[in-house]
Every structure is written in structure tokens, then in C-alpha cells.
Structure 1
């Protein structure tokens, strides 16, 4: 069966696969992979496994993972032996993408976010449409077009092998395409796959096709998610001196955290993050305070997202911010008597990194060159990605995919289709390079 990558990406973007609603999109991908000759396997997020994972809450139940379905498709190329054989040394490379998306606010979009729109690119900035199609939809950049590119790349590798254009390692090559659930809120599908391998063979390396503008990303930032809660004393707004206002105290804490952000930007260094003005960002994303406009606010809850550098742990960063909070508390008599709480919530992201000379990174760079594209130096990302789960499981992983991360989560999320085509060619070439250069020492 022929593979129409444009139609596949557009059809996949039609699924409103927000958190907990990924199953229909996974079933669609599974059906298409079956039709294209992949051996498929699907799995649901496993609450028992995830509850033991440091990134996830320890009280996960079946209801928390309902609908979080992922799928993998395997192409076995060459004379692949029985995977159950302990002596099996056939290399396997995973091409991974997530099928979940963040919610979209239709009022902010120029079209229905789940009805893909094809457009044209203003290539020279004169306001006149030029050459180059674009795809606009929720998930177009982050990252359903990347999933499409992975499928196309795997098929291109199969075609090259069948045409005798690609040399395989002894015993053959396995190419796995994964479409996983729950990346946006912690990596439910990828973490389950990393910890409970759904395949009867080991995995040697992975490429995650996040929107990197076709630049290899070898380090991803972690994040601490923590909720601050303050207690004051209410009073009538006409006599505020009788109360204890939580807002100035919150601002003192927030300012202390921002000062620590600046200090950490100078003291916690990493060569891949020198290009970022704020390498380890601290953002207070939500604040809820008070109960009535005419009452001194006596309660406040604020949620922070705090960046964790590669080489650090979430525990270490949490300890640093707790220590800074303790300094503010020590200087305020009310807070000393009514100490705030600062507790984790939701999912924690650990930082992740692979060496730039890992075979999969070198293969990705060589694949870009083979596809006639620039060979940019590997970099780091100030975001988290599913790559960390595979790296933690001993599977070297690089991010490489089409689109701009700045489009992720934005209204009118758009990807240049020419870049999706280039990603397909580069990823296929990278798989070929990895297979050709495999010596049995990449991961096994």
C-alpha cells in the first residue's frame, strides 16, 4: 500500500487527542501501520509501573490512565532471526513521536484547530504567498507531523533495503515506529514502554521527532512542579491593618525565587545552554488568592515550574528553592509562626542528556548531510521530552524532527511541509547510517 504522508498527518491531526483521549488516534495509527506491513503492538499506560516511577504521583490508579493508549510498529529487514533467541544481536532503532496534544482555544484560532488547513508560506516577507505548503492544526508541529515523518522514514529504509541500496548489519535490522500517549503531562506511554519493553527484543537507540527545526538536540531540561500555599489573616478592607495580607509575602517569596533563577543562570553552567538568555527558567504559572474584593486576602496558592539543568536532579533543585524559601520565612515574624507549604504536584521531569559522540547522534548528523541538509552542532532544549525515559532505560536517544518548538501549544500551530519531507529523508538516512555502522557495541 502506498503511503500518503500528507493525508496521514492531516487525518491524525483531526483527532482531538488531549490527555486521556489518545486511544482513537492510537487505533488509527495502528490500523495504518498494519496496512503498511508493520508488525504492530499496542499498550496502555500501566499505573502500577508508573506509580513506582519518580516522575509520576505514587497514587495513580486505572482511572488516571484511562484512554492513554500507545502503539508500536516493527519492520524486520533482512534475515532477522527469532527475537526470542538469547543470541539475537540484530540492532533495533526506535523512531518515536507522541500523539497527544494540548487543548486548543477555538476563539484564538483563525480556523477549527482540529480541521487541518493547508496554506502557503510568505517566503520573502512581502505579504504575498510564495512557494511551500504549510499545515495548520493543533498538533501539526507538536508533533503529529513528526510521527508522519517517522512512518515515512521507516518505509523509505525498507524500500532502500529491498532495492539493494542499503547495506545491513549481519542478521538484519529492526526499525520501530512508536506513537505514544501522554508526553505533554509526563510521558505515560513512553515511560511504560521504557520500563516494560513491549517488544521481544532489546532496543539499541532512538530518535524522537520533536520539533527541533532539524537540529539534533542531545540534552533536555527537567522541571520541578511545586505548589506554594500561604496563610494570612482576613480583615475588612476598611481596616486592613487588622489583617495579615498574604500578597506582599507572596511577592517577597516570588522575588527571592527570581533572584535564585538569576544566580543559577550564572552558577549552573552547561555548554549546550549558553545560547539561552534564561537557561533554567522559573515561572509562576498560576496564582489564586483571597475570597472577596473587600477582604484582606488570607489565603494564597501558587504553582511554580522550575527548570532543572542536565546533570542536576529534581531533588537537588527542590532543596535549593526550599532553602531560599526558608530564608524569606526566617525574616518575617508572621511566616515564622505560620510557615508556608511548598509541595510537589503533578508530574516531575528529570533532565536528560546523551554524549554528542553517541552512535545515534553521529548517525543523525550524518543523515542530515546525506539528505542534503546543514549539519548544525547539537544543542540542548529548555523543555522536557520523552527522550529522558529511553535514556534512563539505557537507550541512547536524540531529538530530531520538523517544525519550530515556538509553534508548540500556540494558536494557529503550523509546520512547513517542506521541512516534514526533509525530516523524513534525514531520519531515513540516519537509520541507514546507524544500521551500516552498527558493530554490536552501540547498546548491547
Structure 2
């Protein structure tokens, strides 16, 4: 069956796959993979399994898995057995189905109606073809590129252009934006009847191999003051100046950590481990001294660190601020974890799957670049924790992810398709002792 990558990605982008809404898209993709002669697998996130993972809440009831379905298609090529037998290499090509919400008021078009500019149907143009839609860069185009790459490998093997015995798994998982519901479940409880040797997670890296991803600590700060009428604010205890002292202390700690960071792959970043206070709610009325405040922080964790270690640093800095404030000593703030924690991940830049991706880059004409690092987290960490060497490599820029008018240049998608297909063939043809 012919595969139209443009049509495939456009259809996938039309699904509104925000948190908990992945199942309909997963069902469509499963049917499409079956039509393309993949063996298909589906799995739902398992709250009991995830509650034992340090990234997720300890209480299974706090992990909402409704609608969080993941899907995969498997191609067994040459003499490889789709039902097992681990003497043949297996490469996972992973992407996620979920997207972050899109505010229509700040988009120039409907986020879920793909807009193509300068496409072949528009006639000749010197400008690159682009696709704009929620998920265009993060990362439905990459899911399509993985499917297309797998089909290209099958054609190469079946036509005799390349002699290889291997399995390719194309995964589209749920809940990556919320910590990796689908990938963590698959890593902890293998949904396939065979082992996985290596993986490529096709997040947007501008076609550069990423071997180190940051983790993050999510913490919620709560402060208590004393309300008073605004006309007599001096009799109240305003939480805002106290919050600002705490926030400033955390910014100072961020600077100290940046100055002492020793990881070589993060030396080029202006802020290697960013700290952001993403939400603040304070007070109840404009004419009342604010007596309560809730703020949520996202704190970066570098490879080589643990979430627990970084948490201790910020807990200590908070304790120092509290010790200097009589009111906070009497009314101590709470500073608790919330949501999902991301541990950092890293693999050796000399892993065969990294070499294979770099070979794919060379064949595609992508300028060779040394393996890099990212200040964001990705599902790669779940596979690395499971002992599966995983490189992050895909089309598009992370600067487009989560932004209004999210856009990708289509040429990068096609180049990613070719690079990933070449990487799979290169990995399959490498010395078995290297795997």
C-alpha cells in the first residue's frame, strides 16, 4: 500500500490529543498501521505499575489513566521472528501522540486544522514548505517520519537492496507531556514478545543527536500571612514580599548551580539547569492584604544529579530564608512535590545507535555534529533506565514546541525519514558484538 506522509501527518494533527484524549488517535493509528501490514500492539497506562516508579505519585488513585492509550506497529524483516527470538536486533522508533493545549485566541489559524504553505500543490516557490498545527513539531510529524522510515527499511530489505534480519518497532505513546505514561509503562512491562536493543526517540532536535536530557523537580510552595484592610495594611502580614525573597533566593541558587555545573555537554547553555516559577496565586481581594500564596516551580536537574539531591539543595535554601524571617519561623511555608518528576538521562556518545544516527545524518546530507544535550526531559529516560540505549533525534526545533502557530519545515521531516531509515539499517548491519 502506498504511504502518503503528508496526508498521514495532516490527519494525525487533526486529532485533539491533549492529556487524556489520546485514545481516538491511537485507535486510528492502530488501524492505519495494520493496513500497512505492521503487527500491532496497544497498551493502556497502568497506575499500579506507575505508582512504584519514582517519577509518578505513590498513590495509584492520583494517576489518571483514562484515555491514555499507546499503540505500536512491528515489522519483522528477513528471518527475524515477530513473535520472539532475540538473536536479531530490534530498534524502537518512538514518538508521542499527546500535545499541550492550544489557545485559539493567540493562533493565526485553527490549531487543529493543518496549514501548509509553499507545498508542491501551490506551484513553484523559493520558500521552504512548512506545516503549521499543534503537534507539527512536537511531535506528530516525527511520528509520521518514523512510520515512513520503517516502511523504507522494509522496501530496502524486501527488494534485496539491503540484506538484514531485524525488527523495527514504531511506537506512538500517550502522556509524554505528563511524564511518560505510555513509555514508562512499556519500559517497565515490555508489551512485546521480544527484547529491545536500542531506541530513537524522535523529539525535535533540529536533526542533531541528543545523548543527554535534563530532568526536573516539580515543587509547590504555600505561604501563610495575615489579612488586613488595605487602608491599614501595616497591621497585616503580606505574603508577597516574603515570596519575592524566596523566589530571589532560588534565582541566586540557580546562578550558583550554573557557575559550578561541570557537565561538558551543558557548558554552552546560558543557564544549564533553569528554575522557573510557572504559576502564582495570591490574595483574595484587591483591597485586602494578601494572606495566602501558592506558587509552582519547575527546577532543572542535570545528568549526574538526582531529583532528591537537587530537592535537598532547594529545601536548604528555603530553610535559610525562613530562619531570617520571624513571621516565617512562626508560620513555616510548605514546599511539596506535585505532578510528575523527571529524572535526567544520558548514554555514552559512542553507543552503536548514536553512531548509526550519525551515519544516517551523513547519508542525508545533514552536517555532522557532535552529540549534544538538551535542557528538557524526554521519554528517552524510561528506556535508558530499562537498559535500552536511546538517542533523541528528530526534525523540527524545540523552540516551536508548545508555542502558538507551531511550525515545522517539511524538508526536515523528509530528511529525518531518510536519516532514521539509514540509521536503522546501519545499526542492523553493525557487528553484533557491539550491541
Following superposition, the deviation at residue 235 of structure 1 comes to: 1.1
Query: Of 82, 96, 102, which aligns to 2:94?
Result: 96
Query: Of 171, 177, 187, which aligns to 1:178?
Result: 171
SS at match of 2:176: coil
Query: Of 153, 156, 159, which aligns to 2:155?
Result: 159
Following superposition, the deviation at residue 131 of structure 1 comes to: 3.1
Count of aligned pairs: 431
Question: Is the CA contact (8 Å cut-off) linking 2:47 and 2:63 kept in structure 1?
Answer: no
Question: Is the CA contact (8 Å cut-off) linking 1:91 and 1:440 kept in structure 2?
Answer: no
Following superposition, the deviation at residue 82 of structure 1 comes to: 6.8
Inter-CA distance 10–438: structure 2 relative to 1 (3 Å threshold): farther
SS at match of 1:398: strand
Following superposition, the deviation at residue 440 of structure 1 comes to: 4.6
SS at match of 2:432: coil
Q: TM-score normalised to the size of structure 2?
A: 0.97
Query: What do residues 171-216 of structure 1 show as CA deviations (whole Å, max 9, x unaligned)?
Result: x200000000000110000000000100000000000110100000
Following superposition, the deviation at residue 115 of structure 1 comes to: 0.6
Q: Does 2:252 correspond to 1:259?
A: yes
- Whole-angstrom CA distance in 2 between matches of 1:194 and 1:211: 21
Q: Which residue of 2 aligns with 1:125?
A: none
Equivalent residues in 2 for 1:238-387, closer than 5 Å: 238-387=231-380
RMSD: 1.4
Q: Which residue of 1 aligns with 2:60?
A: 60
- Whole-angstrom CA distance in 2 between matches of 1:26 and 1:82: 21
SS at match of 1:391: helix
SS at match of 1:11: helix
Question: Is the CA contact (8 Å cut-off) linking 2:74 and 2:82 kept in structure 1?
Answer: no
Query: What do residues 113-154 of structure 1 show as CA deviations (whole Å, max 9, x unaligned)?
Result: 001110139xxxxxx963321111000000000000000000
Following superposition, the deviation at residue 441 of structure 1 comes to: 4.7
SS at match of 1:428: helix
Q: Which residue of 2 aligns with 1:421?
A: 414
Inter-CA distance 46–393: structure 2 relative to 1 (3 Å threshold): same
- Is there any run of 5+ residues in structure 2 with no aligned partner, and where? none
Question: Is the CA contact (8 Å cut-off) linking 1:89 and 1:440 kept in structure 2?
Answer: no
Runs ≥4 in structure 1, deviation > 2 angstroms?
60-63, 81-85, 128-132
Following superposition, the deviation at residue 60 of structure 1 comes to: 2.7
Following superposition, the deviation at residue 271 of structure 1 comes to: 1.1
- Whole-angstrom CA distance in 2 between matches of 1:325 and 1:24: 45
- Whole-angstrom CA distance in 1 between matches of 2:84 and 2:364: 35
Q: TM-score normalised to the size of structure 1?
A: 0.95
Q: Which residue of 2 aligns with 1:25?
A: 25
- Whole-angstrom CA distance in 1 between matches of 2:149 and 2:296: 41
Inter-CA distance 62–264: structure 2 relative to 1 (3 Å threshold): closer
Question: Is the CA contact (8 Å cut-off) linking 2:352 and 2:434 kept in structure 1?
Answer: no
Q: Which residue of 1 aligns with 2:211?
A: 218
Following superposition, the deviation at residue 236 of structure 1 comes to: 1.2
Q: Does 2:355 correspond to 1:396?
A: no
SS at match of 1:287: strand
Q: Which residue of 1 aligns with 2:3?
A: 3
- Whole-angstrom CA distance in 1 between matches of 2:318 and 2:347: 33
- Whole-angstrom CA distance in 1 between matches of 2:110 and 2:83: 45
- Is there any run of 5+ residues in structure 1 with no aligned partner, and where? 122-127
Query: What do residues 257-295 of structure 1 show as CA deviations (whole Å, max 9, x unaligned)?
Result: 000000000112211112211110000000001111111
- Whole-angstrom CA distance in 2 between matches of 1:18 and 1:422: 28
SS at match of 1:278: coil
Q: Which residue of 2 aligns with 1:139?
A: 135
